[in-house]
Structure 1
Amino acid sequence: MLVAPHVSAAARHLTATRPVPGSTAREPHTYEGGPAYIREPREELFLLAVGNFVSQDTFYESGADRDDRYTALVARLAVEHPAWTAGLLRWLRGEGNMRTASLVGAAAYVRARLAAGSSEGPSNRSVVDAVLQRADEPGELLAHWIATYGRQVPQPVKRGVADAVRRLYTSRSLLKYDTASHGFRFGDVLNLVHASPDPAKPWQGALFRYALDRRHHPDRAAAPATDRLLTAHRALLDTPVDERRALITGPGGPERLVAAGMTWESVAGWLHGPMDAAVWEALIPAMGPMALLRNLRNFDRAGLPDEAAERVAARIADPEEVARARQFPFRYLAAHQHAAPRWAAALEAALGHCLANVPALPGRTLVLVDRSDSMFWDTHSERSRLNRADTAAVFGTALALRAEQADLVEFGWRSAPVPYAPGEPVLDVLKRFHTLGGTDTTKALRTHYRDHDRVLVVTDEQALPHAPGGPDPIPREVPVYTWNLAGYRPAHGPGRPNRHTFGGLTDGAFRMAGLIESGRRAAWPWTDEA
């Protein structure tokens, strides 16, 4: 869930329009040359963190430039606002579900505070421990530190990693993550940080020794005889190749795979042969919701029977499974665009569950969706063809469909209403959006605002300078909510009362509009606001 920050009106008025310290720009502009406003550093970092994929190029910034800006902001705020920064990093890895940003941020947090000799706020050790939530992440953080800052790893990093190792290293996690594809194996991590076993886990000492042997003496590494999971796994590995397919597709096959800690990825290599429909049917009961989503095309290629496909579709569309997956809605939208027709209904249902928290806003609402060129060029990751334009259209449509009365408008160099019917599927409405060139937000506001109770804008905020001068097209007493999907530095409008900018790509941020309008205090989505 991504919930956006709210900086007080007074703070925004004082800081939002001034250049960053050290900047020589007296009149900052958007990347398209329109007037812009420099955000307060905490707001800038939050928006960048939730809108950025590490090392991902965007229309106006290279991935390296964005990464450098992110690291520099974390380093600055780790010293100036350590409790706030630690809260952000914990939240990014937890509710924000952003692994790389939190790991890179934790390293920058520690390095900046060590360089400054700062000991105020949460300890370096605790921040490192907090962001490590999966068993491959201790190795990832160490690999990042050494590649970025050198082989001298400071004690707070080692101790934080050791704390996480005691929490995360189990037999099942070793089978899943201690593989040759990982640069830092479990044994490498244990050698570097010298983690001692957790006294409450009497089995962990033997596991640590086995992990070290797997890394450094694989020819004589023997799984602890008392560890049922590892011994069952070894038994499967020792099964003759010509007997393996029958072993997992016969009676008790799915249960046997679970007992041995076999994932679909490990089975694919273990079989030494094709993953046919019978193999997938044996694997599906133990697969998680996102593993199912990623393999829809593999199921189709293997000829998965309709009966089995119906069970997969039911799990994909299950609200509890969707909640457990904790994925951004665009994952389901991307899958829908590439999957076979038999999965369409389930994926659309899953997308609907992702957007279930979109508020039913009262009164009249104007929803503006940015369809400019930069929104189409930028994708959420280089592994996906899904662009921010379509993501914006999905969110804007969901808001309009949920509102009591809403005007849905697409805008760019020009703008036009997007027709829809109450209760219509979001993905049907998506087909009615177009590509509209540049970003003239002011013109769209002037054209379509008609005494609405609020205005919602989904955009990357990089407005053109061509709008005619004059007063704010929206009266000061009418709230304007902007969802920035890219995290660029310049904002398209000044911070002032009733003007709010949010970051992120999930439905959680949309709840902030209701909170603000109900008079509740909108705050950072973690408890410590120091």
Structure 2
Amino acid sequence: MARFNTKAAKGRPTSPVATTGRTTRTHQGGQGHLRDARSELFLLAVANFVTQQTFYESGSDRDDRFATLVRKLAVEDSEWTAGLLGWLRGDANMRTASLVGAAEYVKARLDASATDGPSNRAVIASVLRRPDEPGELLAYWTSMYGRNVPKPVKRGIADVVRRLYNGKSLLKYDTASKGYRFGDVLNLVHPTPDPDKPWQGELFRYALDRRHNPDTAVPPASNRTLTAHRALMALPVEERRAVVTGPGGAERLAEAGMTWEALAGWLQGPMDAAAWEAVIPSMGAMALTRNLRNFDQAGVSDEVAAQVAARISAPEAVAKSRQFPFRYLAAYQHAPSLRWAYPLEKALGHSLANVPALPGRTLILVDRSGSMWAPLSDRSELNRADAAAVFGAAVAMRAADADLVQFGTSSAEVKYSKGESVLKVLERFGNLGGTNTTEAVRRHYRGHDRVLIVTDEQTSYHYAGNPTQQIPADVPVYTWNLAGYRAGHGPSGFGNRHTFGGLTDAAFRMVTLLESGRNADWPWLQADV
């Protein structure tokens, strides 16, 4: 009699974040499942705001674990690690983690005299995508390893300098608050100007003069932005506000590359409504979103506010800004005026455009335990609990039939209606104490076609059992890990048990792959679904 080779037999798809079969304890003392090094690094990388403390790990311990994993895999699996770092800075938009990772990657490979795989120079260049980042990487390298910067690091940075340095970037990022100014970077890496940019040689010379002889440095006459900026800076202070409020003020500020950060200092006075209204046309969507409260406090007119609302909620602007969904929640929580609520709701929806529309019945469990309430970073008032709730509510409202549940020590269903505001649904979530994932699954699983758990996976010793064991083996369980701790709450990578990290388009696509019966690969290796 056939036991395995039956008509019902079919292979189950696999996913990349995999456990090893070995167990340990979570930070709360519950049973934890160890992941392989690649899986541990991936989940840590997509959740790691470098130098920032989490609920269970200090910033230094977390950063040491990250650096150790990068150095290990840079030598053992260079192609995979280089792919992770490039994707981390690109699609995942994790700036500091990718920069630190690239530096540690190169250091480990130089120490090991490794020559296989992607070049160190290319890896450095792959993570530097903003003009201030060459200085950031040099500051990290020299603080960790001294001023002897190796050639691959210099050459990778030089490639980026040629690509990113221009007049506007000089004005925006070459400020006195930086330890490594543009001129310092140029002195260290000695880039050759791009032959396709005949103006770049003059720009480099000006950046050096601006660093070493600021009182006498004169911008090249060929650069309209720098000359216009010099003219503005030469105006007497008492005449500057008239420029802002007069005809063509907004155009003149834009032509001179005047940022909103620099405008208050230039005016040497408050940022009133007129000042904001003059600089708003040249601000990007991300800067606009961060300053909604400032616009209200200054009394920006309803007409200008309507223009801001249209810009921050435009689908193309949301896609270009690459902001995480929870950024719009943070803006909603801190902007007092109701005139921003609907635009932020639209923007949030666009940022979640690739959340899968799941068929059948779905159980969505959102972790609201105490450890989830730690802020995402020292500079953020938003926490993982709310980030989890944003994602869980969005998935529920897009699914054909979903039960949305919050859990901690206890658990409760969260009511919602199709077409309702995600931001309003979030107001129904609470703080539920410990992490009893197992009991939440037992209580709320009722023959659903799949289960999604958004969590930090830190189950307590009080609550025995692997929560995924409560669900039949033929029902897929997807865990979204938002913290990147070492141990997981159950096995993953096989047998209909899958763990993802990061709220990115690539993570969302994995569900579609797995449910179509196809194996899911690392995000930077995925083919289009």
Instruction: Tell me the TM-score normalised to structure 2 length.
Output: 0.94
Residue 525 of structure 1 and its aligned partner are, at CA, apart by 1.5
> What is the aligned partner in structure 2 of residue 128 from structure 1?
124
Rounded Cα–Cα distance in structure 1 between residues aligned with 2:28 and 2:132: 41
Residue 8 of structure 1 and its aligned partner are, at CA, apart by 7.4
Residue 10 of structure 1 and its aligned partner are, at CA, apart by 9.9
> What is the aligned partner in structure 1 of residue 507 from structure 2?
509
1:316 aligns with one of 297, 301, 312 = 312
> What is the aligned partner in structure 1 of residue 411 from structure 2?
415
Q: Give yes or no for contact 2:313–2:346 (8 Å, CA) kept in 1.
A: yes
CA 1:353/1:99 → structure 2, altered by over 3 Å: closer, same or farther?
A: same
Residue 505 of structure 1 and its aligned partner are, at CA, apart by 3.2
Residue 12 of structure 1 and its aligned partner are, at CA, apart by 7.4
| Letter in structure 2 aligned against 1:424 | E
Q: Give yes or no for contact 1:51–1:505 (8 Å, CA) kept in 2.
A: no
Q: Give yes or no for contact 1:370–1:460 (8 Å, CA) kept in 2.
A: yes
**Alignment deviations for residues 441-484 of structure 1 (CA, whole Å, 9 cap, x no partner):** 11111111111100000000001233355992111110000000
| Letter in structure 2 aligned against 1:16 | T
Residue range with higher mean Cα deviation, 237-246 or 65-74: 237-246
Residue range with higher mean Cα deviation, 201-210 or 450-459: 201-210
Rounded Cα–Cα distance in structure 2 between residues aligned with 1:49 and 1:490: 15
2:340 aligns with one of 337, 343, 347 = 343
1:356-375 to 2 correspondences below 5 Å: 356-375=353-372
1:490 aligns with one of 455, 462, 487 = 487
Q: Could you tell me the percent identity over the aligned residues?
A: 68
1:16 aligns with one of 20, 42, 49 = 20
Rounded Cα–Cα distance in structure 2 between residues aligned with 1:115 and 1:352: 46
> What is the aligned partner in structure 2 of residue 247 from structure 1?
243
CA 1:262/1:231 → structure 2, altered by over 3 Å: closer, same or farther?
A: same
Rounded Cα–Cα distance in structure 1 between residues aligned with 2:49 and 2:409: 27
Rounded Cα–Cα distance in structure 2 between residues aligned with 1:237 and 1:528: 50
Rounded Cα–Cα distance in structure 1 between residues aligned with 2:308 and 2:42: 37
Residue 293 of structure 1 and its aligned partner are, at CA, apart by 1.2
| Letter in structure 2 aligned against 1:484 | N
Q: Give yes or no for contact 1:106–1:131 (8 Å, CA) kept in 2.
A: yes
Rounded Cα–Cα distance in structure 2 between residues aligned with 1:258 and 1:10: 48
- SS state of the match for residue 153, structure 1? coil
| Letter in structure 2 aligned against 1:444 | A
Q: Give yes or no for contact 1:413–1:438 (8 Å, CA) kept in 2.
A: yes
- SS state of the match for residue 369, structure 1? strand
Q: Give yes or no for contact 2:206–2:220 (8 Å, CA) kept in 1.
A: yes
> What is the aligned partner in structure 1 of residue 463 from structure 2?
467
**Alignment deviations for residues 309-344 of structure 1 (CA, whole Å, 9 cap, x no partner):** 111112122222111111001111011111122211
Q: Give yes or no for contact 1:354–1:507 (8 Å, CA) kept in 2.
A: no
Unaligned segments of structure 2, at least 5 residues: 1-11
Residue 82 of structure 1 and its aligned partner are, at CA, apart by 0.4
**Alignment deviations for residues 36-74 of structure 1 (CA, whole Å, 9 cap, x no partner):** 111111111111000111111111111111101111111
> What is the aligned partner in structure 2 of residue 94 from structure 1?
90
Unaligned segments of structure 1, at least 5 residues: 1-6, 19-26
**Alignment deviations for residues 3-58 of structure 1 (CA, whole Å, 9 cap, x no partner):** xxxx9759877x5223xxxxxxxx41111111111111111111100011111111
- SS state of the match for residue 51, structure 1? coil
Rounded Cα–Cα distance in structure 2 between residues aligned with 1:57 and 1:513: 31
Residue 101 of structure 1 and its aligned partner are, at CA, apart by 0.7
CA 1:140/1:104 → structure 2, altered by over 3 Å: closer, same or farther?
A: same
Rounded Cα–Cα distance in structure 2 between residues aligned with 1:275 and 1:411: 44
| Letter in structure 2 aligned against 1:410 | Q
- SS state of the match for residue 405, structure 2? strand
Instruction: Tell me the TM-score normalised to structure 1 length.
Output: 0.93
Q: Give yes or no for contact 2:34–2:486 (8 Å, CA) kept in 1.
A: yes
> What is the aligned partner in structure 2 of residue 354 from structure 1?
351
2:112 aligns with one of 100, 112, 116 = 116
> What is the aligned partner in structure 2 of residue 477 from structure 1?
474
> What is the aligned partner in structure 2 of residue 34 from structure 1?
30
CA 1:510/1:12 → structure 2, altered by over 3 Å: closer, same or farther?
A: closer
Residue range with higher mean Cα deviation, 468-477 or 184-193: 468-477
**Alignment deviations for residues 365-402 of structure 1 (CA, whole Å, 9 cap, x no partner):** 111111111011x1112222211111111111111111
- Cα root mean square deviation, aligned: 1.8
1:58 aligns with one of 54, 63, 67 = 54
2:192 aligns with one of 196, 210, 214 = 196
> What is the aligned partner in structure 2 of residue 389 from structure 1?
385
- SS state of the match for residue 462, structure 1? coil
> What is the aligned partner in structure 1 of residue 6 from structure 2?
none
CA 1:158/1:483 → structure 2, altered by over 3 Å: closer, same or farther?
A: same
Residue 224 of structure 1 and its aligned partner are, at CA, apart by 1.1
Residue range with higher mean Cα deviation, 48-57 or 461-470: 461-470
| Letter in structure 1 aligned against 2:423 | L
| Letter in structure 2 aligned against 1:405 | D
| Letter in structure 2 aligned against 1:511 | R
CA 1:205/1:10 → structure 2, altered by over 3 Å: closer, same or farther?
A: closer
> What is the aligned partner in structure 2 of residue 4 from structure 1?
none
Residue 249 of structure 1 and its aligned partner are, at CA, apart by 2.1
2:215 aligns with one of 203, 219, 234 = 219
CA 1:506/1:337 → structure 2, altered by over 3 Å: closer, same or farther?
A: farther
Q: Give yes or no for contact 1:359–1:511 (8 Å, CA) kept in 2.
A: yes
**Residue 81 (str. 1) matches residue 59 (str. 2):** no
Rounded Cα–Cα distance in structure 2 between residues aligned with 1:352 and 1:217: 49
1:243-322 to 2 correspondences below 5 Å: 243-322=239-318
Q: Give yes or no for contact 1:516–1:522 (8 Å, CA) kept in 2.
A: yes
Rounded Cα–Cα distance in structure 2 between residues aligned with 1:375 and 1:332: 19
- SS state of the match for residue 408, structure 1? strand
CA 1:434/1:115 → structure 2, altered by over 3 Å: closer, same or farther?
A: same
Rounded Cα–Cα distance in structure 1 between residues aligned with 2:146 and 2:526: 32
- SS state of the match for residue 524, structure 2? coil
> What is the aligned partner in structure 1 of residue 525 from structure 2?
527
Residue range with higher mean Cα deviation, 237-246 or 122-131: 237-246
Residue range with higher mean Cα deviation, 192-201 or 285-294: 192-201
Rounded Cα–Cα distance in structure 1 between residues aligned with 2:226 and 2:15: 60
1:151 aligns with one of 147, 150, 154 = 147
- SS state of the match for residue 482, structure 1? strand
Q: Give yes or no for contact 1:329–1:506 (8 Å, CA) kept in 2.
A: no
